[in-house]
Amino acid sequence: MFACGSINREGWVPGWAAERKRAEIESALKQVGVGHRWVDRDSNKQGDEIRPAKHGSVLGRSLVAAGAPVGDKTADTVVGLPDWLDEAPPSVRASFAELLVAERGAARPGKATLAIQANRSRQYFEDVRELLEDVTGQPVTASDAGVTISADAVRALGLA
């Protein structure tokens, strides 16, 4: 939900507009027993989405209970990463970090670094920096405007 997903306020059904990690999201939906379906948009205003094929509102409510935001993601609704992530196994933290950077990291012209910029709180950017530094062992910087992921951290995540 923090990388490329959202949960509708009406109906609590989650959806993902993944570009690079579609297969991983589809696999995760299969593993939790809800399957997946595609919502193809006729308009360029919204991207195509992966949604649960069944039990969508149950999955959405479960994700909210695990700390996912509902509705539009802004600096007011996304104030940090979920607390459970601090105690998650290293493999879960690494998968979370890789998905976040793969889906949200934007290339900078002429640079091997990536940047995550969004309307989020400073605490969210600090949480992302801390997670990425812990997972990669490489430098990452946070500011009020976003997170800059060093080329070494991008390589450590296997994304370069």
pLDDT above 90 for 30: yes
Is the separation of the CB atoms in 43 and 36 below 8 Å?
A: no
Provide the pLDDT confidence category of residue 156 given band limits of 50, 70 and 90: very high
pLDDT digits (tens, 9 = 90+) for 1-22: 888 999 999 999 999 998 889 9
Three-class SS state of 78: coil
Please report the pLDDT score of residue 155 as a whole number: 97
Three-class SS state of 127: helix
Structural domains of the chain in order of their starting residue, each with its CATH number: 5-65 (no CATH), 84-156 (1.10.10)
Give the Cα separation of 155 and 136 in Å (integer): 9
pLDDT digits (tens, 9 = 90+) for 51-104: 999 999 999 999 999 999 999 888 988 999 999 999 999 999 999 999 999 999
Per-residue pLDDT, averaged over 112-126, amounts to: 95
pLDDT above 90 for 45: no
Please report the pLDDT score of residue 108 as a whole number: 83
Please report the pLDDT score of residue 46 as a whole number: 72
Which residues are 124's β-sheet partners? none
Give the Cα separation of 5 and 110 in Å (integer): 29
Please report the pLDDT score of residue 42 as a whole number: 72
